[in-house]
Chains A and B, each alone.
Chain A
Amino acid sequence: MSTPVPVPRDLWEEDLPGIVSAWLFEDGDTVSEGDLIAELMVEKTSYDLTAPKAGRLRILVQPEIPFQRGDVIASIE
């Protein structure tokens, strides 16, 4: 069963697009719950994204591609 990994809606305040500045695992890597999986960037401030559960990471949004808060940018199988 695949669990979506959305960008939390309250991660930053203003309605600005974010990007992934760095995925810290490869697509298909096994991650543990709580692992730091990506760093996100909004304007010049960075935010951490952690794995909501253990499993195999599927990256859905590549670095530098803009997304909005709440968008699903990965899934964990």
Chain B
Amino acid sequence: MNAPLNRTKRNLTVAKAMAEALAQEMRRDPSVLVMGEDIGRLGGVFGNTRGLFEEFGAARVRDTPISETAFIGAAVGMACVGMKPVVELMFVDFFGVCMDAIYNLAAKNCYFSGGQSPVPMVLMTSTGGGYGDAGQHSQCLYGTFAHLPGMKVVVPSNAYDAKGLMLSAIRDPNPVVYMFHKALQGMGWLGTVKGAINDVPEDDYVVPIGKAAIARPGRDVTLVGLGATVHHALDAAEELAKEGIDAEVIDLRSLVPLDRETVLASVRKTGRLVVADDDYRSFGVSGEIIALAGESAFAALKAAPARVAFPDIPIPFSPALERPLLPDGAKIAAAARAACGKA
């Protein structure tokens, strides 16, 4: 986050930071192109491709028909012959119709060809709910994608990381699944988390894939989050600080590769772990992080690790039903208090 001193602060939304990264890399590398539904003239329903169509034209910024099966398959083929497509799956919930192209083709082609045919594509896709868009437009599915080998998976929580991770993702020779949370985009109708808007350098810079960030240092309990739950964990840390509990907040940033060392170093220091994930509770990222602590930092644990996640049910449409089920600062703080024996 250390910006050069000779430049002024420039706050951007995640949407703008993503669009800027795409534009800069398209200027630098003519093999980069963007495809998806409404990513051209409209600029993306989440604002993350705004301005690209006007600058680069219809050949490099391609509005596609509503057939993820076809256009994500096409992106895999483009990547196999040396182009660098960034393809948008508008809502991650739609992965069902294109998963064969993703996990059987993109993820495996490099292995099957003995490294002769890598697939340098980026699949960018929106995640998360909280704005009453029901069970087919509100899922996170982080664990679903992170579970499958052959793809990298990144989840930015703020604009600075969104730009730096996008540049890393496009330059990576492997398929990278870039999962951006709708509540962090800075689009009013999706709810806007203020902490996601931060200072973004105009320069070219990368945030390395596979490096977590310590969003807030602390001594007493480790709170691990990704995407939106990083901000909930920071809210929790602020509450806990008033009660004398000093929480450390870790922003995973990448799921594959997972920065195990940063998580373990924190757990070894604090001895307590709470994982916050708005994906489904079972068989997901929260369980993976807790297993990591159990396998590799067991002796350091002073309390049973805990998780705050979405229950294992389809996400309700009604805000009155959805909101109480989502992770938030209060739930994370309660879990942290319990871990510290102060419940």
User: Is A41 an interface residue when CB atoms closer than 8 A count as contact?
Assistant: yes
**Dominant SS among interface residues on chain B:** loop
Report, as a range, how many residues of chain B touch the other chain: 10 to 19
Residue B8 is within 8 A (CB to CB) of chain A in the complex: yes
The chain A residue with its CB closest to the CB of B197 is A22
Whether B13 pairs with A64 at a CB distance below 8 angstroms is no
What's the count of A-B pairs with C-beta under 8 Å? Answer: 42
Q: Which residue of A lies closest to B191 (CB)?
A: A64
From 195 to 242 in chain B, residues with beta carbon under 8 angstroms from any chain A beta carbon are: 197
Residue from A41, A46, A64 having most chain B Cβ neighbours under 10 A? A46
Find out whether the CB atom of B189 lies under 8 angstroms from the CB atom of A22: no
Q: Is A74 an interface residue (CB 8 A)?
A: no
**Do A21 and B192 contact each other (CB < 8 Å), given the known contacts A41-B187, A46-B50?**
yes
Query: Which residues of the other chain, A, contact B188 by a CB distance below 8 angstroms?
Result: 19-22, 41, 63-64
* Nearest-Cβ distance from residue B102 to partner chain A, whole angstroms: 27
Q: Are A44 and B13 in touch, CB under 8 angstroms? A: no
Contacting pair B197 A24 (CB below 8 A): yes
Contact with A along B23-49 (1 / 0, CB 8 A): 000000000000000000011010100
Given A22-B192, A63-B192, A46-B12 contact (CB < 8 Å): no
A46 and chain B: residue at smallest CB distance: B47
* Residue numbers in A under 8 Å from B194 (CB-CB): 22
Q: Which residues of A contact B189 (CB under 8 A)?
A: 21, 41, 44
Question: Which residues of chain B are within 8 angstroms of A35 by Cβ–Cβ distance?
Answer: 10
B12 A24 Cβ-Cβ under 8 A: yes
A21 touches which of B45, B50, B187 (Cβ 8 Å): B187
* A interface: dominant SS: strand
A32/B13 in contact, CB under 8 A: no
Contacts of A45 in B (CB 8 A): 42
The CA of A52 and the CA of B50, in the complex, are separated in Å by 22
Bound CA–CA A45/B42 (angstroms) = 8
A25 neighbours in B (Cβ, 8 Å): 11
B120 at the interface (CB under 8 A from A): no
Partner of A46, one of B8, B10, B187: B187
* In the bound complex, CA of A35 to CA of B15 (Å): 17
Question: Across the interface, which residues of A come within 8 angstroms of B118, CB to CB?
Answer: none
- Residues 40-70 of A, flagged 1 when their CB comes within 8 A of B and 0 if not, give 0100111000000000000000011000000
How far is it, in angstroms, between the C-alpha of A39 and the C-alpha of B186 when the chains are bound?
8
Contacts of B43 in A (CB 8 A): 46
Docked complex Cα distance between A36 and B13 (Å): 11
- A73 to B43: give the CA distance in the assembly, Å: 25
In angstroms, Cα B187 to Cα A64, docked, is 11
Question: Within the complex, what minimum Cβ distance (angstroms) separates A55 from chain B?
Answer: 14
Distance in Å: Cβ of B58 to nearest Cβ of chain A? 20
Chain B: minimal CB distance from A19 (Å)? 5
Q: How far is the CA of A45 from the CA of B44 in the complex (A)?
A: 9
Give A73 to B21 CA distance when docked, in angstroms. 30
Q: Supply 20 further A-B pairs (C-beta < 8 A) apart from A24-B12, A39-B16, A39-B186.
A: A21-B187, A21-B188, A21-B189, A21-B192, A22-B186, A22-B188, A22-B192, A22-B197, A24-B13, A24-B197, A32-B8, A36-B10, A36-B16, A39-B13, A41-B187, A41-B188, A46-B15, A46-B47, A46-B50, A46-B187
7 closest pairs, A vs B, by CB? A21-B188, A24-B11, A41-B188, A22-B186, A19-B188, A22-B13, A46-B47
A sample of 19 inter-chain contacts (CB < 8 A) reads A21-B187, A21-B188, A21-B189, A22-B13, A22-B186, A22-B192, A22-B197, A24-B11, A24-B12, A24-B13, A32-B8, A36-B12, A36-B16, A39-B186, A41-B189, A45-B42, A46-B15, A46-B43, A64-B188
